[in-house]
Amino acid sequence: MSISTTTTTPLFCFNHYFTRERELSIHRSRPKPFSLTSASTLTLFNSNNNNNCNYSFASCKPHKFHTPKFEAFATNTDTLESIQSSDVSFDQTFPINRTELVEGKIFVRLDQGKDLGNWELTVGCNLPGKWILHWGVSRVDDVGSEWDQPPRDMIPPGSIPIKDYAIETPMKKSLSSAEGDILHEVKIDLKPNNDISAINFVLKDEETGAWYQHKGRDFKVPLVNYLKEDANIIGPKKGFSLWPGALGQISNILLKSEATHDKDQDDNSGSINTKVENSQLEGFYVDLSITKEVIVENSISVSIRKCSETAKNILYLETDIPGDILLHWGVCRDDLKWWEIPPAPHPPETIAFKDRALRTKLQSRDSGEGSSVQLSLGEEFSGFLFVLKLNDSTWINDMGDDFYIPLPSSGSIITGNREDQSEGVQKEVTEEAGQEESISAFTDEIINEIRHLVTDISSEKNRKTKSKEAQESILQEIEKLAAEAYSIFRSSVPSFSEETIAESEAAVESKTLLLPDLPPQISSGTGTGYEIVCQGFNWESHKSGRWYMELKEKAAELASFGFTVIWLPPPTESVSPEGYMPKDLYNLNSRYGTIDELKDVVKTLHEVGIKVLGDAVLNHRCAHFKNQSGIWNLFGGRLNWDDRAIVADDPHFQGRGNKSSGDNFHAAPNIDHSQDFVRKDLKEWLCWMREEIGYDGWRLDFVRGFWGGYVKDYLEASEPYFAVGEYWDSLSYTYGEMDHNQDAHRQRIVDWINATAGTAGAFDVTTKGILHSALERCEYWRLSDQKGKPPGVLGWWPSRAVTFIENHDTGSTQGHWRFPSGKEMQGYAYTLTHPGTPSVFYDHIFSHYKTEIATLISIRKRNKIHCRSTLKICKAERDVYAAIVDDKVAMKIGPGHFEPPSGSQRWSSALEGRDYKIWEAS
């Protein structure tokens, strides 16, 4: 989606152009880390801004959760073969990783150094983690509390500068003699006779990306400026202490160092000698309690045996998870897994939940650790379904589904979970958020309401006691309820799992390996798989009035770069000159040129071997006329729709359609794609654009606004060579600091691609955002997720990930989310060597980066890197990221060191630039 900055807006559109929810690349003079929960306790929060997820069941078929609060990975540990008891038919253990708060200490200590003229400040922490001290100094002439970098002789080895205002120093492990604990600490040497008035710091845990500070403020240790004459002293004039308000009133402070005063001071000398200066210093020691979430390994074990007397299945479930735990359970009769309550008897402390499931409190085991329960289940049932409720807000389930245990029928033996015999089963602990009603329960209620309304209108018609208006009102209510039911159904569609993607991708890769001579298989989601995209315009391109002709002149040069696809700007008549507020879709005379010039540039690009994408804005459309109430919601031109084409929940344009299937764009009427006539007209328009103009595919604008299933419908009708959607929403940040885990963000993009059935790719906004933080803050460890894969869409569904570092919205003159300045080539060294489909921004092609970009594209094509290429991450550390692609190309970005491993392959340098290097296998 593009955003206009024009101030003159026609009356029939919203009174200002919509400013999208966008990423902000914020770098403050001071960091904004996490706050304390109380005056005396430091708390470390998980940095993931996960949305609350509701556990749901019913009938009992729960939906898959998109954003689990915690994740763990379980290994199938079936032990049937070693079971000694012959009547045990099933035995399986599900390892569960959960988070638990542990307590520790932060230590701050000031001691006299080995050289009596110097002092040493020590900051430490005794909790496990990869701790970083983020610190800086204040100088005596500073106004306010701005940070600054300390002098070089104060900076410990291994430190990394953060722009010009701070230093980040890894905290090293040492053995605490007092506690016998492992302590992470940093020692900073303080020299006398300098102009430093205070040291500021916060702590950061690289494992979680979380920060520590106190009450929303930085730690501050004020330093006396040794009482030099005319010195501008900040803080107390005697000794060292912690400023009030920074650490507050803390006990166990001021372990005073021994110092002596020189009694022979000359009062008339006009100066203060060194002994007097040093005698004013006082040492101190302070520790503060902190808490941190750590992973705790637990398990759930389930075994089944046959009772010889009753022939029933005796199921035994136990877990070592502490606390009072509720087993929420039921049984099913077939593979549909519809929940039902088995007949009594039931275990003690069992209650029914809404006639759909049972809840049983697990009983403490004799050992005092963990709890268990035993159930008796009849042979008529085929499966046992359950989840665990730990507290009012936390459930444990199996990847968003219920745990399912198959029950043996008479004479059968089961060797573990028949649905999942593989290793690496992901468990999710999700937040219930106080809502236990399921999707099916909601839709059941809506269906019942519809039935009552239908019965009502039918009976009233028979008695002829209702007016036509009343009957129409009931019908409209039915329509609204149906739309609500559809909206609920759409939101409950399961997330597309990484495992499923991996399987489909592996099938394509194996086919390519087995039949390498076959021509590439073309799919609208991938093209040939070897595509390299050029965005052929920027935010200002419309101003020349002849952009198509300018682009035609560059066609041969673009082809020589190696681009296979070019994305052109929106071609339709538009309220905004950039084209993103379309009006008459069949009027292709725009600010970029006439329809004939458009046809001409497309023809020329085809002649040099480049496919052409049209920028299709399908989410919204500006109206031509007002209705009787003065609302602009009536359309003209060939597609002369009325207000039925506008969604009902867009408050500005009073549409009479159904509710939106996505997020509304408030600057123009949002189109209701659930209407048959709308979809028919849009499919005809896309096919007309393919035939009349010669477009080969589409870049789809603001696809957050409507369901991906509609996109699938449009693409199947227009049969594009390549299609990519712009699904752009905000990544997860905490106080301006990007969270390390962005799984929820990339899951939303992957879910949209899945809704299109993979017929379209999507711009990998997640990768762009993570590259921002990694490069700007020298945190290259961000470029590897918890499984050692790329952390964006690239790591989950590479063939559908269109990677980019800049476009007309984020860069150009708009600059809504500009890539870190001077680091653009590191970004291209990443995207142009990695799997996925890379896209290069027009402004970068015709800039001083031209030669380097051309060389990178040449390396990619020469080594036949494609959207499914194999990637091995070799390093993802603080100052360097390195990877090998297809065993043909090695790359590294960042100031740190990397050399490809020497072995059977010999590597030769292919390209080197500022903080990046590329090698090719000889």
- pLDDT, residue 437, reads 42
Residue 240, judged by CB atoms within 10 A of its CB (0-12, 13-18, 19+), counts as buried
pLDDT digit string, tens, across residues 420-474: 433 333 344 444 334 444 444 445 555 555 655 655 555 544 444 556 666 666 6
853: pLDDT confidence band, cut at 50, 70 and 90?
very high
| Distance between start and end Cα atoms, the chain | 43
How many CB atoms are closer than 10 A to CB 196?
A: 20
Closest CA to 196 of 248, 135, 249, 273: 135
Residue 587, judged by CB atoms within 10 A of its CB (0-12, 13-18, 19+), counts as middle
3-state secondary structure of 86: coil
- pLDDT, residue 145, reads 52
In this structure, are residues 484 and 492 in contact, taking their beta carbons and an 8 Å threshold?
no
**Residue 830, both tokens:** 């990443």
190: pLDDT confidence band, cut at 50, 70 and 90?
confident
The CA distance from 919 to 890, in Å, is: 5
Q: Tell me the pLDDT of the chain averaged across its residues.
A: 77
The CA distance from 796 to 331, in Å, is: 34
- pLDDT, residue 273, reads 39
Highest average pLDDT, of 14-28, 87-101, 789-803, comes from: 789-803
Residue 646 has pLDDT above 50, yes or no: yes
Highest average pLDDT, of 25-39, 264-278, 675-689, comes from: 675-689
Tell me the one-letter amino acid at 876: A
- pLDDT, residue 65, reads 29
- pLDDT, residue 485, reads 56
**Residue 376, both tokens:** 């008796």
Residue 179 has pLDDT above 60, yes or no: no
Evaluate the omega torsion of the peptide bond into residue 516 and state whether it is cis, within 30 degrees of 0. no
pLDDT digit string, tens, across residues 788-815: 999 999 999 999 999 999 999 999 888 8
The CA distance from 782 to 878, in Å, is: 9
- pLDDT, residue 180, reads 58
How many CB atoms are closer than 10 A to CB 882?
A: 24
In this structure, are residues 360 and 350 in contact, taking their beta carbons and an 8 Å threshold?
yes
b/e burial code for range 814-827 (CB count within 10 A of at least 16 → b): bebbbbbeebbbbb
Q: What does 473-499 look like in DSSP terms, one character per residue?
A: HHHHHHHHHHHHHHHHHHHTSPPPPHH
Residue 188 has pLDDT above 50, yes or no: yes
Chain-centroid distance, C-alpha 898: 28
**Residue 914, both tokens:** 């500022």
Residue 114, judged by CB atoms within 10 A of its CB (0-12, 13-18, 19+), counts as exposed
Per annotation, catalytic residue among 91, 701, 743, 809: 701
726 in catalytic set: yes
Whole-model pTM? 0.56
The CA distance from 507 to 510, in Å, is: 5
Tell me the one-letter amino acid at 762: A
The CA distance from 758 to 751, in Å, is: 10
Per annotation, catalytic residue among 402, 726, 739, 824: 726
Closest CA to 649 of 483, 800, 493: 483
Tell me the one-letter amino acid at 364: S
pLDDT digit string, tens, across residues 297-356: 899 999 999 888 888 899 999 999 988 999 999 999 887 788 899 998 899 999 998 777
- pLDDT, residue 82, reads 34
Which comes out higher in pLDDT, residue 518 or 662? 662
Comparing 17-26, 104-113, 552-561, the range with the smallest average pLDDT is 17-26
445 in catalytic set: no
Q: Which residues pair with 684 in a beta bridge?
A: none
Please give the DSSP secondary-structure letter assigned to residue 800: G
How many CB atoms are closer than 10 A to CB 237?
A: 9
In this structure, are residues 442 and 488 in contact, taking their beta carbons and an 8 Å threshold?
yes
Q: In percent, how much of the chain has pLDDT > 90? A: 49
